[in-house]
Amino acid sequence: MPGNASPLFERLKTSEIGDRRWWRAVKSLARKGPCVIPALIGALESENIHLRQGAAKALQLIGSPTVPFWIKALKHPNVNVRRKAAIGIYANAFHAQKAIPALFETLSDSDTEVREMSVVALELLAFLFGPIVSPAIPRLVGLLANDDDYVVRSWAARALGSIGPEAISSLSDLKDAANDVDDEVREAAAEAIQRISQK
């Protein structure tokens, strides 16, 4: 990491989350911009919760310059980093079109929270950019039909609805999902059917 950033990382470790000293370190790190992003992402692996939360907040404050780093971090071996990467892409969705292919891959992540955040991010990207997300339709249909987590299934339905008429091939699967055991999935599927069927 940049040498002059090291004391700020140490300050995060030894400060209470949310106090003035912690916030000053967070904001000082954020002002350093892209040069400190790799070190901040690395800090997400720390066992020190003060450091992890501070690094996550600084990355949030840096904003859109983090997107290329988040895309790479979606393949990180540490599950906490992958979760934060999906959240970071969601938070910067207006600038994250290039993240769409990488999110396709994380839809099959072994971690439920990574899948949840990835499909939520894809739904927002579909809402913002529509057909550009259509290559994900087969994977979204797979999640809708087979994922054990109702949150993943419901957001897969919402993402298909946000893609719009280009997702017409998913209508039969959405009709099946309208009979899902979970209320939230049924509601999301019914809404998606309406959105896709609009002329």
What is the pLDDT, as a whole number, of residue 172?
Answer: 96
Residue 119 is encoded by which pair of tokens? 């499909």
What does pTM read for this prediction? Answer: 0.85
User: Residue 101: CB partners within 8 Å, gap ≥ 6?
Assistant: 135
What is the chain's mean pLDDT, rounded?
93
At 59-114, the pLDDT tens digits run 999 999 999 999 999 999 999 999 999 999 999 999 999 999 999 999 999 999 99
What is the pLDDT, as a whole number, of residue 130?
Answer: 85
At 39-62, the pLDDT tens digits run 999 999 999 999 999 999 999 999
Confidence of residue 164 (pLDDT cuts 50, 70, 90): very high
At 17-47, the pLDDT tens digits run 889 999 999 999 999 999 999 999 999 999 9
What gap in Å lies between CA 171 and CA 156, rounded to an integer?
A: 13
Residue 20 is encoded by which pair of tokens? 């003035």
The domains located in the chain, with CATH, are: 98-199 (1.25.10.10)
